[in-house]
Amino acid sequence: MRAFTAIVNPAAGGSASASCLIPLGRLLREAGAELDVEYSRGMEHAADVARAAAEAGRVVLGVGGDGMVGCVGGALAGTDAVLGIVPAGRGNDFARQLGVPADAEELAPLLLEGEPRAVDAVEANGTPVLGSVYAGIDAIANDNANRTRLLRGSAAYYVGALRAVLTWRHADYLITVDGAEHRREGYTVVAANSGYYGFGKHIAPDARVDDGLLDVVVIRKAPRTLFFAVMRELADGSHVRRPEVEVMRGREVRIELAGKPGRRLPYGADGELPGVLPVTARVLPGALRVLAP
C-alpha cells in the first residue's frame, strides 16, 4: 500500500486546495494508505518537502494549480520519485493534458493503483518546469491575472489578456530552435511540452508530454482584432490553421529579444513568472514519473 505526502498550496483557487483534499484523503485512508499533509510556505519550501518525502519512499502529491504542480514535479524531475497530481488550482493545465481527474472518486483509484508513467519535463534557464515556457503578451496577461483578486479562473485570465492586448507593442524575437535561428515579430512565443496553458487554452494541440520534443508556437504580428479571434480559437486549437500562427519543433529553444535595446519582456513557466528574456528551454525526456492515465 502506498504512502503519500500531500503538499498543499493554501492560496491556489482560494480554499479549494485544502477542501478538495478532505474527501480524497478519506478515500485514501479508508483503503489503508498512509497520508501526511504539508502546507507550503512558498515554492522553495514545497520543493524541499517534496524531495524529503521522495527520499523516504513516499508518493508526493502536488495539491494546487500549475505553479504548485510544476514546483513539486520540477523538484522530482530526474529522480525515481513518483508524483501524483491533485488538481485544485485555477488552471490545472498540466493535469488536463495528462487526463488526471479532479473528482475524488475517480482520482483515488488512480493514486492507489495506477502505474507511474514517464513524461518529459523542461529545463528553463536551469529550473525544471512541466508545462510550457512562454514569452510575450501571455506572460503579461498571466501577471495581470495573478494580480486580480475579484475574478477567478478563465475570467481572470481573459480580463488580464484584454488589458495586455490594449497596451501591447509587437516584440521583435530571435528564436533559436536546435541551433537554427528564426527572426519573428509578433505577440508571443511558446515552447510547449503540454498542449494547454493559460487556464485551458489549447495553445499547442499536437504537443505530447512523452515525445522528447517541444512544440514552438509563434503568433506573429497581426491586427489586434485578429488576435482576439485567435484567443477565441485557442479553446479548440483551431488557431494553428491561421497563416499568422507558426509551429516548429525541437529539443532546445532559446527565446530572446532582437531589435532596439532597452525593452524588457517577462517569460512565464507553469503559471509563474521566473524572470525576463532571454530564456533557454531544453526538454528533459522521460524525466518525471507521474500517476496519470
Q: Which tens digit of pLDDT belongs to each residue from 28-73?
A: 999 999 999 999 999 999 999 999 999 999 999 999 999 999 999 9
Q: What pLDDT is stored for residue 16 in this prediction? A: 60
pLDDT tens for each residue of 270-280? 988 999 999 99
* Tens of pLDDT, residues 134-168: 999 989 987 887 776 666 556 666 777 778 888 89
Which pLDDT belongs to residue 68? 93
Examine the pLDDT at 14 and tell me if it is beyond 50.
no
**CA atoms of 274 and 192, how far apart (whole Å):** 16
Q: Cα–Cα distance between 130 and 69 in angstroms, integer?
A: 8
Q: How confident is the model at residue 231 (pLDDT cuts 50, 70, 90)?
A: confident
- Distance (Å, whole) CA 255 – CA 176: 7
Q: Domains plus CATH for the chain?
A: 3-114 (3.40.50.10330), 129-285 (2.60.200.40)
**Grid cell in block for residue 203:** 495553445
What is the C-alpha to C-alpha distance for residues 281 and 25, in angstroms, rounded to an integer?
Answer: 36
